[in-house]
Amino acid sequence: MTMTTSPGDPLAPLAEQTLGAIAATGVVRNFPKNAILINEGDTADSLFIVLSGRIKVFASNEAGREIVLSFFGPGEYVGEMSLDGSPRSASVMTVEPTTCAIVNRASVREFLLAHPDFAMNLIGKLIQRVRVTTENVKSLALTDVYGRLVRLITTLAVERDGVMAVPEKLTQQDIAERVGASRDMISRLLKDLVTGGYLSIVDKKITILKKPPTAW
């Protein structure tokens, strides 16, 4: 694994040196795909640092309906919200085989005192995640499903060789969970956008052919 991000950027994944140092204070574990790392409401206080693989953070209700809050990969971490001793605010599951370093609260506090760069990264992550949560709440409350779908696609898309495309493969269920809608609704909207020449979807990869309309 190679990390080339600047340690001065609090919003970037952890630099390799910092990642290795804090991982050494915890226990490294390997998890298979679809393993639950954190259950919403649990009172554990460990930080999970992703060394390899990919995880998703999600919330669910008693009926089993889920909404995905975010995805994280190597150099990212989850569980920081429970470092104050409060119950877990969301659940976390692996979406592919994943290796994590699990660091308890006492070790995290000691590491924060000894490594100000990690403290700044943690503060930056907390601010960033609060901003993202605020935008998601606004979107769910003020935007219809089509608007949320377009916002997700345009946010995830990156430009490569003059083409805007979403780098990760997304199933209709993945998208539905992220925007808080049914899979059938997402299927219909994507079909309409493809038919209208706005999107191309090949092997679950979405390419933006032209800017989707603001309303549908």
Tokens coding 161: 């060789």
Mean pLDDT of 28-56: 91
pLDDT digits 0-9 by tens, 181-198: 889 999 999 999 999 999
Return the CATH fold of 143-208.
Answer: Arc Repressor Mutant, subunit A (1.10.10)
Indicate whether this model's pTM tops 0.85. no
> What is the domain partition of the chain in residue ranges?
16-141, 143-208
pLDDT digits 0-9 by tens, 120-154: 888 888 888 788 777 777 766 657 899 999 989 99
Is the separation of the CB atoms in 204 and 175 below 8 Å?
A: no
Give the burial class of 107: count Cβ atoms within 10 A of its Cβ; 0-12 exposed, 13-18 middle, 19 or more buried.
middle
The pLDDT of residue 195 is: 95
Tokens coding 182: 């049914």
Spatial strand order of the sheet with 158-160 comes to: 158-160, 163-165, 205-208, 199-202
% of the chain residues with pLDDT over 70? 91
Mean pLDDT of 14-21: 80
CATH code 2.60.120.10 for 16-141: yes
pLDDT digits 0-9 by tens, 72-102: 899 888 888 777 777 888 899 999 999 999 9
Q: Which of 14-28, 35-49, 110-124, 134-148 has the lowest mean pLDDT?
A: 134-148
Res. 7: pLDDT tops 60: no
